[in-house]
Amino acid sequence: MVGNITLTMIKPTAVKKGFIGPILAKIAEGGFKIVAMKFTRLSLEQAQKFYEVHKERPFYGELTEFMSSGPIVAAVLEKDNAVQAYREYIGATDPAKAAEGTIRALYGTNLGENAVHGSDSDENAHIESYFFFSELERF
Ligand code: ADP
Ligand code: MG
The atom number, within ligand 1, closest to the CA of 67 reads: 16
Q: Render pLDDT for 85-103 as a digit per residue (tens, 0 to 9).
A: 999 999 999 999 999 999 9
126 is catalytic: no
**Section 74-78 average pLDDT:** 98
Among protein residues, the one with the nearest Cα to ligand 1's atom 17 is: 112
Q: Render pLDDT for 3-18 as a digit per residue (tens, 0 to 9).
A: 799 999 999 999 999 9
From residue 64, how far is each of 16, 52, 85, 93, 108 by CA, in Å?
17, 10, 26, 16, 17
Q: Best substitution site from 54, 57, 59, 62 to test ligand 1's pocket, by max atoms within 8 Å of Cβ? A: 59
Is the pLDDT assigned to residue 1 strictly greater than 70?
Answer: no
List of residues 6+ apart from 111 with CB closer than 8 A:
93, 94, 95, 96
Among protein residues, the one with the nearest Cα to ligand 1's atom 22 is: 59
What distance in Å separates the CA atoms of residue 72 and residue 80, rounded to the nearest whole number? 25
* Residue 3, pLDDT score: 79
Q: What is the DSSP string of 45-92?
A: HHHHHHTGGGTTSTTHHHHHHHHTSS-EEEEEEE-TTHHHHHHHHH--
Catalytic member of 15, 68, 117, 122: 117
Q: Which CATH code of 3.40.50.300, 3.30.750.200, 3.30.70.141, 3.90.180.10 fits the domain covering 5-134?
A: 3.30.70.141
Nearest listed ligand to the Cα of residue 125:
2
* Residue 136, pLDDT score: 95
pTM over 0.85: yes
Q: Where are the domains of the chain?
A: 5-134
* Residue 2, pLDDT score: 56
Is the Cβ atom of 59 under 6 angstroms away from ligand 1? Answer: yes
- Would you say 72 and 42 are in contact if contact means Cβ atoms under 8 Å apart? yes
Q: Edge to edge, what strands does the sheet with 116-118 contain?
A: 33-40, 72-78, 5-10, 116-118
Q: Render pLDDT for 30-65 as a digit per residue (tens, 0 to 9).
A: 999 999 999 999 999 999 999 999 999 999 999 999
